[in-house]
Chain A
Amino acid sequence: MATISRRAILKGGGAMVVSFAIGRQALAQARAAHTVDSFLAIHQDGSVTIFTSHVDIGTGISTVFRQVAAEELDIPVERFTVIEGDTATTPDHGGTGGSTGVPRGAADIRQAAATARRALLELAARRMNRRASDLTIEAGEIQASDGAAGVSIASLIGGKRFDLAVDPKAPLKQPSEYRIVGQPVLRADVPFKCTGRHVYLQDFSVPGMLHGRVVRPPTLGGELVSYDETAIRAIPDIKVIRIGNFLGVVAADEWAAIRAARELKVVWKDSRDLPGSDDLERYLRESPAADQVVVNRGDASGALSGAPKKFSAAYYWPFQSHASLGPSCAIADVTDAGITVWSASQGAFGLRAHLANVFGVAPENVRVIYMDGSGSYGTNGAEDAAADAVLLSRAARRPVRVQWMRQDEHGWDPKGPVQLLDVRASVDAAGNIAAWETEMWLPGGPPGERALAGPELAGMKQGHGQGAGLMTMNADPPYRAAHVRVVAHNLRETPLRLSNLRAPGKIANVFAVEGFTDELAAAARVDAVEYRRRSLDDPRALAVLDRAASMIGWRARPSPNPDAAQGNFRVGRGIAYLRYKQAENYCALAMEVAVERSTGRITVRRIACAHDCGLIMNPDGLRNQVEGNIMHTLSRALHEEVRFDQSKVISVDWVTYPVLRFPEAPPVEIALINRPDQPPYGAGEAASAPVAAALANAVFDATGIRLRRVPFAAERMKTMLARA
């Protein structure tokens, strides 16, 4: 329960790290995350546990945590394990998201390890009667430069605590000294995942646990009129639970819960208040919104209105779903003492606060424990599943495991927001950008806690926040321009609940900015790489651009491709560039495509990506993330759109919400540019942002047709080809 101590968690390890019961003061301490012991426990056997609120969820970030701690402590990386996202035992230094795992998560752990190192050297110096500066650490052994007998770190501190604040000034190793950071250290979880032995949240159970399923209304805002259990009498050991319009079943047997949820006869009153996904563009333009000036440099409106030559275009990004491969899951155990939840949420502390608020329980009586789940790329249905499990466990007075069904996930997970962008520009005599204006429409009312699906049906009081994660960044071009203005119209309402979904906003903004830049280059009859090059000064920007171009075998010429015809295909190439959040990673991505004339099918033949995220922590993990970004976004650009009618989401499975499949997977070549003298940035998002633009630009090169609307479905492409 909520009062489990760190000591209990570490049983067998023997560490005497801070052993606190969860009380207000301890809670504040954990949140402040300022002690070495809150991050690290060194055990008597020489192994080390890292505690962090940043969770792995398949990104490989926990390997980076092991590397940075191992590096600063000079303890072999194999001796490290990581405990992630447990509100009772880990410090709160932020959840996973926004590519903060490296710059924030790893940086905090590194600083704690550096503080520990200094303390250990001082401790050893006293023990060995040497000066700390004469000591070094080799494989967990502290050694003296004069060859005197050394002492192991484990014997110095194993099982004891440091009682030290993390010193932000504790000296860090120089990148030139790195032996572990920068190496392709293999992930510890992969052998277990490849043999069916990794215990996912979905595989976990607790004693006495029941299986729960939620019976969702056929429409998003449905009202429960009545239900009849006659049809499910034959199913063993089930119990129906109703709380307002929230309806669920629990059963000892999972299949019984599934069948009962499916076969229960329910009368619902439907709701019909959604705009539908077919004409969202009009809905976005016409809905009440709060305006926000994001960038305002020079006088874009003035310059545009006086310009002789103007360009404009509208770009559209649809609602998209995380559509996690494994539906969201949670186990909750609600007792009089409080709530324990096992969840794959990317933010255990955020979920604790959220559940505490919604269920009216003091946060110190809520414990959230992270376990790996199916991949999420921001906020999927994990938080909602947790609330479902709490509702059912509270009513059943037993621990309850809820796993969503496929239709729950596609139909009810919070969605990556729709976005519409009008872009306008004027150019100088050479065709370069003189003035630029981006105007965007997107749902984005006040931020704050989002509504949880189950509690909403149950009629509970809760927040209805609509933050989706820095949506307006990268909406201005990275190119030299005297006048730039970016305005966001943040709609007060949203038809579907919102979530952070990988590179939120940036992905649509870069699609518009880099697609439109390509339009300007084509209009000026200038090669797309050359057009970008001449308006960029930053050598790191030029380096990724040149590298991606050379990898794909770029030949300078304007688009479209004069030699595009290849039998039934038209072929072309495209490129896109960005600096993530205008402040972090540099990334350029080029691709070669073939568009089949008879079907409109777009085949990506090759992708080349040049990626500079500063100092590289683990090149193999980084490559895995960059590849993942590219493939995931290729799927989003080619196929993905949440469709809904006046009442409900209608893209509710893998047939109605198609995604990328293996026959479409192109070879991907990645160049990682290491900058040991530059700060390291996270890489979970950046490479996703240029994918749609590079693809649209390549399709334009091949066909002369400009794609401004995601997804680039074959049917639509075919119609456009016929019209061209």
Chain B
Amino acid sequence: MPNYSFRVNGKTVTVDSWDPDQPLLYVLRNTLGLHGAKFGCGMAQCGACTVLLDGGAARSCVTPIRHAAGRSVTTIEGLGTPENPNAVQAAFIAEQAAQCGYCTNGMIMAAQALLDRNPHPTLEQVKSALEGNLCRCGTHTRILNAVMRAARA
């Protein structure tokens, strides 16, 4: 089986994949046991699977594993832990910005990518950065508050 090396949350990993087109999402979840990124649509329509690829937000459900080779992937697990969350995660926790939380991974990763680029976005900029991330529980208000809180921090 061909294998692929890349960095995940700062560590180099090498994984086998029988299919070079296997989306990174399944490699992260099933091979590496990193369940933070979620399957929502598999079609780049919802954002639930968002990770950082070389620092930019990427849809892992449509990123073939061969494209990840040699690159650097950050998942939500790499940002912080429940005891020691990073600034964006801490802001989401402070705002209690989750209901079911199935969208939360995508929201936090998209927000992280935005804030890395633009540390002090306006509310409108946050809304447009999150436009491709869907939430069905209606947690929008809190998510926006959380990102704005992180932007102030």
Seen from chain A, the residues whose Cβ lies within 8 Å of a Cβ on chain B are 57-60, 186-187, 189-200, 202-203, 236, 253-256, 258-259, 322-327, 372-375, 403, 405-406, 620, 624-625, 627-635, 653-655, 659-663, 665, 667-668
Seen from chain B, the residues whose Cβ lies within 8 Å of a Cβ on chain A are 18-19, 22-23, 26, 29-30, 34-43, 45-46, 48, 75-77, 79-82, 85, 89, 92-93, 96-105, 108, 124, 126-128, 130-131, 133-144
Residue of B19, B85, B144 with highest tally of chain A CB at under 10 A: B19
Asked if residues B100 and A374 are in contact (CB atoms below 8 Å), the reply is: yes
Chain B residue with minimal CB distance to A326? B102
Q: Which residues of B contact A236 (CB under 8 A)?
A: 18
Given contacts A193-B98, A254-B26, 11 further A-B contacts (CB under 8 A): A194-B76, A194-B101, A202-B102, A325-B48, A326-B39, A375-B100, A627-B139, A629-B138, A630-B138, A662-B140, A662-B144
Cα separation A480 to B29 with both chains bound (whole Å): 58
Residue of B104, B124, B126, B134 with highest tally of chain A CB at under 10 A: B134
Asked if residues B137 and A403 are in contact (CB atoms below 8 Å), the reply is: no
**Nearest Cβ in chain B — how far from A215, in angstroms?**
16
Q: Which residues of B contact A403 (CB under 8 A)?
A: 39
Q: Which residues of B contact A665 (CB under 8 A)?
A: 127, 140-141, 144
Instruction: Name the 5 nearest CB pairs between A and B, nearest first.
Output: A196-B36, A631-B138, A58-B100, A375-B100, A193-B101
Residue of A195, A634, A654, A667 with highest tally of chain B CB at under 10 A: A195
Asked if residues A194 and B89 are in contact (CB atoms below 8 Å), the reply is: yes
Q: Which residues of A contact B29 (CB under 8 A)?
A: 203, 254
Chain B residue with minimal CB distance to A607? B141
Q: Which residues of B contact A322 (CB under 8 A)?
A: 136
Chain A residue with minimal CB distance to B99? A58
Q: Which residues of B contact A663 (CB under 8 A)?
A: 124, 127-128, 131
Main secondary structure of the interface of B (DSSP, over half): loop
Cα separation A69 to B2 with both chains bound (whole Å): 55
Chain B residue with minimal CB distance to A252? B30
Cα separation A258 to B43 with both chains bound (whole Å): 13
Q: Which residues of B contact A653 (CB under 8 A)?
A: 41, 43, 45
Q: Which residues of B contact A57 (CB under 8 A)?
A: 100
Per a CB cutoff under 8 Å, which of A194, A325, A633, A667 touches B93? A194
Asked if residues A624 and B96 are in contact (CB atoms below 8 Å), the reply is: yes
Asked if residues B100 and A186 are in contact (CB atoms below 8 Å), the reply is: no
**Nearest Cβ in chain A — how far from B39, in angstroms?**
7
Per a CB cutoff under 8 Å, which of A200, A256, A635, A659 touches B102? A200
Chain A residue with minimal CB distance to B48? A325
Q: Which residues of B contact A255 (CB under 8 A)?
A: 19, 22-23, 26, 30
Asked if residues B35 and A259 are in contact (CB atoms below 8 Å), the reply is: no
Asked if residues B82 and A256 are in contact (CB atoms below 8 Å), the reply is: no
Q: Which residues of A contact B143 (CB under 8 A)?
A: 662
Q: Which residues of A contact B108 (CB under 8 A)?
A: 194
Per a CB cutoff under 8 Å, which of A199, A200, A375, A661 touches B137? A375
Cα separation A627 to B138 with both chains bound (whole Å): 7
Cα separation A327 to B99 with both chains bound (whole Å): 16
Chain A residue with minimal CB distance to B1? A236
Asked if residues A327 and B39 are in contact (CB atoms below 8 Å), the reply is: yes
Per a CB cutoff under 8 Å, which of A195, A629, A632, A654 touches B82? A195
Chain A residue with minimal CB distance to B143? A662
Asked if residues B35 and A659 are in contact (CB atoms below 8 Å), the reply is: no
13 A-B pairs (CB sep. < 8 Å): A187-B98, A190-B92, A194-B104, A195-B81, A197-B82, A198-B101, A200-B35, A200-B102, A323-B136, A375-B136, A624-B96, A662-B133, A665-B140
Asked if residues A192 and B82 are in contact (CB atoms below 8 Å), the reply is: yes
Cα separation A556 to B135 with both chains bound (whole Å): 36
**Nearest Cβ in chain B — how far from A204, in angstroms?**
9
Chain A residue with minimal CB distance to B137? A375
Asked if residues B134 and A406 are in contact (CB atoms below 8 Å), the reply is: no
**Nearest Cβ in chain A — how far from B30, in angstroms?**
5
Asked if residues A632 and B138 are in contact (CB atoms below 8 Å), the reply is: yes
**Nearest Cβ in chain A — how far from B37, in angstroms?**
8
Q: Which residues of A contact B45 (CB under 8 A)?
A: 406, 653-655
Chain B residue with minimal CB distance to A406? B41
Asked if residues A374 and B102 are in contact (CB atoms below 8 Å), the reply is: yes
Given A199-B35, A202-B38, do A375 and B127 touch, yes or no (CB 8 Å)?
Answer: no
Asked if residues A627 and B141 are in contact (CB atoms below 8 Å), the reply is: yes
Asked if residues A624 and B99 are in contact (CB atoms below 8 Å), the reply is: yes
Chain A residue with minimal CB distance to B31? A253
**Nearest Cβ in chain A — how far from B44, in angstroms?**
10
Q: Which residues of B contact A200 (CB under 8 A)?
A: 35, 38, 102
Residue of B35, B80, B102, B139 with highest tally of chain A CB at under 10 A: B102
**Nearest Cβ in chain A — how far from B123, in angstroms?**
9
Asked if residues B43 and A406 are in contact (CB atoms below 8 Å), the reply is: yes
Cα separation A654 to B126 with both chains bound (whole Å): 21
Cα separation A510 to B134 with both chains bound (whole Å): 27
Cα separation A632 to B99 with both chains bound (whole Å): 12
Q: Which residues of B contact A198 (CB under 8 A)?
A: 101
Q: Which residues of A contact B138 (CB under 8 A)?
A: 627-635, 660
Chain B residue with minimal CB distance to A344? B100
Asked if residues B136 and A197 are in contact (CB atoms below 8 Å), the reply is: no
Asked if residues B76 and A196 are in contact (CB atoms below 8 Å), the reply is: yes
Q: Which residues of A contact B80 (CB under 8 A)?
A: 195
